[in-house]
Amino acid sequence: MSSFSNERLGAPNPSSSRILIYHLRDVVKTREAEGVAFRLLVPSLQIAMGEKVALIGESGSGKSTLLDMLSMTLKPSEIGSFRFRPGAGAEPVDISEHWRKNRLNRLGDLRRQRIGYVMQTGGLLPYLTVRENIGLSRRLLNMPGDEMIEELAGNLGIRRHLDKLPHLLSVGERQRVAIGRALAHRPSIVIADEPTASLDPIAAEKIMSLFIELVDELHITVIIASHAWRHINRLGLRHLSHVTRRKENGHTTETVVSG
């Protein structure tokens, strides 16, 4: 636990009593494409269990890069330290160690068990019914419980679609299914990347409220990325500080995220 004491003065929301699910220090990802370099810096990031965090910024500002690193699907270029606590009672896991030793399957196991993911547009498997899509992670983890899926579908208002294939559903309904799938196996954290970007504003607001309501009820930590979000404050999410600047040489964009 001592490694989780706050080392930086003036960090946002410093609170020693919180149980941290993510604790990142000096994590850097550098990407270069067509002569333009992009650099994402995370001097310090702490996310507590049960917290609801929002990452707001324009597209191309590195939100997705950060989310991929947090979901352990993208290897950071440099890591000071990167710890992830799989559950409330569990010891934190040293993710940087896994990356260094290239233990991709270990990371896959953590992801399968502990992380739920809501994608920009569904990301549902077209050949599975809504019920099977929602239950996919549960099936992989050998978790029983069809009632759980029924209940979740009821809460999401898609119970009547359970035995349909996704292509028969509207975009909004599919997004509800995606939320269902991310929550069904009771992960420790749900990561959502622009979950409502493809919806009209009214539907977007409705689904987002429902989403937040559900994670609150299930005590699941959530990180949501969005480019523009009017009603964020109403849902009581914590902003991560996000600064993008262009370097003097003109072809390096640097984004600093902390919180």
Partner 1 sequence: MGRALVLRRFKNVFWLANRDYKNEWQMSSFFVIALAAVLAPMMILFGLKFGIIGSMLDNLIEDPRNREIRPIGSGRYDRTWIENLRSQTGVNFIVPRTRAIAATIQLKSEKASRILSVEMLPTDRGDPLLNGLDIPTGLHQLVLSESAARKLKAGKGDKISGSLARRFRGRSERVHIDLTVVDIAKPGAFSRDGAFAPVYLVESAEAFRDGQAVPALGWKGDKPKDAGRTYPSFRLYTRSIYDVEPISKILLQQGIEVRTRAADIEIVRNMDRNLSAVFWLIAVIGLIGFSFSLGASLWANVDRKRKELSVLRLVGFRTGDIIWFPVIQSLFTGVLGWVSASLIYLGVAYTINEMFASQLESGDTVCRLLPEHFLIALGLTCTAAILAATLAGYRAARVEPSEGLRDI
Amino acid at 107: L
* Cα–Cα distance, 255 to 10 (Å, whole number): 19
User: Which region among 4-12, 41-49, 138-146, 150-158 touches partner 1 (by CB under 8 A)?
Assistant: 138-146
For the CB of residue 6, give the shortest distance to partner 1 in the complex, in Å: 30
Burial class (CB in 10 A: 0-12, 13-18, 19+), 203: middle
Query: Binding to partner 1 by residue 22, rule CB under 8 A?
Result: no
Query: Binding to partner 1 by residue 155, rule CB under 8 A?
Result: no
Contacts to partner 1 from residues 157-186, by CB under 8 A: 165, 181
Choose between 36 and 104: whose C-beta lies nearer to partner 1.
104
Query: Binding to partner 1 by residue 127, rule CB under 8 A?
Result: yes
* Cα–Cα distance, 204 to 196 (Å, whole number): 5
Query: Binding to partner 1 by residue 142, rule CB under 8 A?
Result: yes
* Cα–Cα distance, 159 to 178 (Å, whole number): 14
For the CB of residue 178, give the shortest distance to partner 1 in the complex, in Å: 10
Contacts to partner 1 from residues 94-123, by CB under 8 A: 104-105, 108-109, 111-113, 117, 119-121, 123
* Cα–Cα distance, 88 to 50 (Å, whole number): 10
* Cα–Cα distance, 88 to 82 (Å, whole number): 17
Give the gyration radius of the chain's Cα atoms. 18
Choose between 44 and 174: whose C-beta lies nearer to partner 1.
174
Residue from 36, 125, 171, 228 that binds partner 1 (CB under 8 A)?
125
Count of residues in contact with partner 1, rule CB under 8 A: 32
Token look-up 């609150």 returns 216
Choose between 19 and 56: whose C-beta lies nearer to partner 1.
56
For the CB of residue 9, give the shortest distance to partner 1 in the complex, in Å: 34
Answer positive or negative: Cα dihedral of 131, 129, 171, 184.
Answer: positive
Residue from 24, 95, 174, 194 that binds partner 1 (CB under 8 A)?
194
For the CB of residue 4, give the shortest distance to partner 1 in the complex, in Å: 26
Query: Binding to partner 1 by residue 228, rule CB under 8 A?
Result: no
Residue 101 in tokens: 């030793």
Contacts to partner 1 from residues 69-98, by CB under 8 A: 71, 73-74
* Cα–Cα distance, 193 to 197 (Å, whole number): 9
Residue from 88, 140, 228, 243 that binds partner 1 (CB under 8 A)?
140
User: Closest Cα partner for 182 from 239, 122, 232, 106?
Assistant: 122
Give the binding site for partner 1 (CB under 8 A): 64, 68, 71, 73-74, 104-105, 108-109, 111-113, 117, 119-121, 123-128, 132, 136-137, 139-140, 142, 165, 181, 193-194
